[in-house]
Amino acid sequence: MSTPSDAASSLLLGTGIGCFLITGFGLVQGRMNIETMSLGWLFPLLGLLLVMLPRTLRSESGLMSNLFPDEDDDLLAERVRSEIETTVKDGSVSSAWAELEAAVLESELSEE
């Protein structure tokens, strides 16, 4: 199974190549002109950006490496397990505080 980083990299690369294909069709059909700047020139610029973005996914401190981690199934399972343990621990601490607060309120009400 591929990692999220590999899947995002393939998707970005394919979309960038698709933008170049749109540019080529626009030039062949005469909808875009090399001499004049038009809105259609955003497609090759976007294509260039999308083709270069997968390189940032492979680096550890890249632009999109936090959004699409490069971890396999074992690392993902361990990360999710630790997050669940942290959530359960926080929940038990919260319930302990709630019980303590309820006990304090009961004692204050009984004094009145």
Note the pTM of the prediction, 2 decimals.
Answer: 0.60
Residue 44 and residue 79: Cα distance in Å, rounded?
39
Give the pLDDT confidence score for residue 51 in this predicted structure.
92
pLDDT in tens, 80-111: 899 999 888 888 888 888 888 888 888 888 87
Give the pLDDT confidence score for residue 53 in this predicted structure.
87
pLDDT in tens, 32-67: 888 888 888 899 999 999 998 888 777 666 667 777
- The alpha carbons of the chain give a radius of gyration, in whole angstroms, of 27
- For the ranges 16-30, 72-86, 91-105, the maximum mean pLDDT occurs at 16-30
Give me the residue label for tokens 């038990």: 92
Identify whether the C-beta of residue 57 lies closer than 8 Å to the C-beta of residue 5. yes
Q: Which of 53, 74, 56 lies closest to 65 in space, CA to CA?
A: 56
Grade residue 28 by pLDDT with cuts at 50, 70 and 90. Answer: very high
